[in-house]
Amino acid sequence: MKDFQNKVAVITGGASGFGREFANIGARLGMKLVLADVQQEALDQAKSELEAQGAEVLAMRCDVRNAAEIQALADATMGKFGAVHLLFNNAGVGSGGLIWENTQADWEWVLGVNVWGVIHGVRIFTPLMLACAKKDENYQGHIVNTASMAGLLNAPTMGIYNVSKHAVVSLSESLYQDLRLIEAPIGASVLCPYFVPTAIHQSHRNRPADVQDDAKPTASQEAAQAMSDKAVTSGKVTAQQVAEWTFDAIRDDKFYIYSHPGALGNVQRRMEEIVTQQNPGDPYKEVPHIRDMLRAKLKN
Concatenated DSSP letters of the chain: ----TT-EEEEETTTSHHHHHHHHHHHHTT-EEEEEES-HHHHHHHHHHHHHTT--EEEEE--TT-HHHHHHHHHHHHHHHS---EEEE-------B-GGG--HHHHHHHHIIIIIHHHHHHHHHHHHHHHHHHH-TT--EEEEEE--GGGT---TTBHHHHHHHHHHHHHHHHHHHHHHHTT-SEEEEEEE--S-SSSGGGGGGG--GGG---SPPPHHHHHHHHHHHHHHHT-SS-HHHHHHHHHHHHHHT-SEEES-GGGHHHHHHHHHHHHTTPPP--TTTT-HHHHHHHHHHHH-
162 within 8 A of 155, measured Cβ to Cβ: yes
Question: CB-hemisphere CA count at 13 Å for 151?
Answer: 25
Q: What is the per-residue pLDDT for 193? A: 94
Determine, yes or no, domain membership for 282: yes
Determine, yes or no, domain membership for 113: yes
**Which domain covers residue 245, as residue numbers?**
8-299
Q: Could you tell me which residues come within 8 angstroms of residue 169 by beta carbon, excluding any fewer than 6 positions away?
A: 147, 151, 152, 190, 192
Determine, yes or no, domain membership for 1: no
Determine, yes or no, domain membership for 272: yes
Residues classed as catalytic: 161
CATH number at 195 reads 3.40.50.720
Q: What is the per-residue pLDDT for 200? A: 66
Q: What is the per-residue pLDDT for 199? A: 64
Residue 214 CA to residue 107 CA, distance in Å, equals 15
Determine, yes or no, domain membership for 99: yes
What is the pTM assigned to this prediction?
A: 0.94
By CB atoms closer than 10 A (0-12, 13-18, 19+), residue 90 is buried
Mean pLDDT by 10 residues, the chain (300 residues): 96 95 97 97 96 97 97 98 98 93 95 98 98 96 97 94 97 98 98 82 76 85 82 82 97 96 93 97 84 84
Determine, yes or no, domain membership for 2: no
Determine, yes or no, domain membership for 111: yes
Q: What is the per-residue pLDDT for 216? A: 87
From the centroid of its chain, how far is CA 154? Answer: 17
Q: What is the per-residue pLDDT for 272? A: 97
Determine, yes or no, domain membership for 106: yes
Q: Structural domain tally of the chain?
A: 1
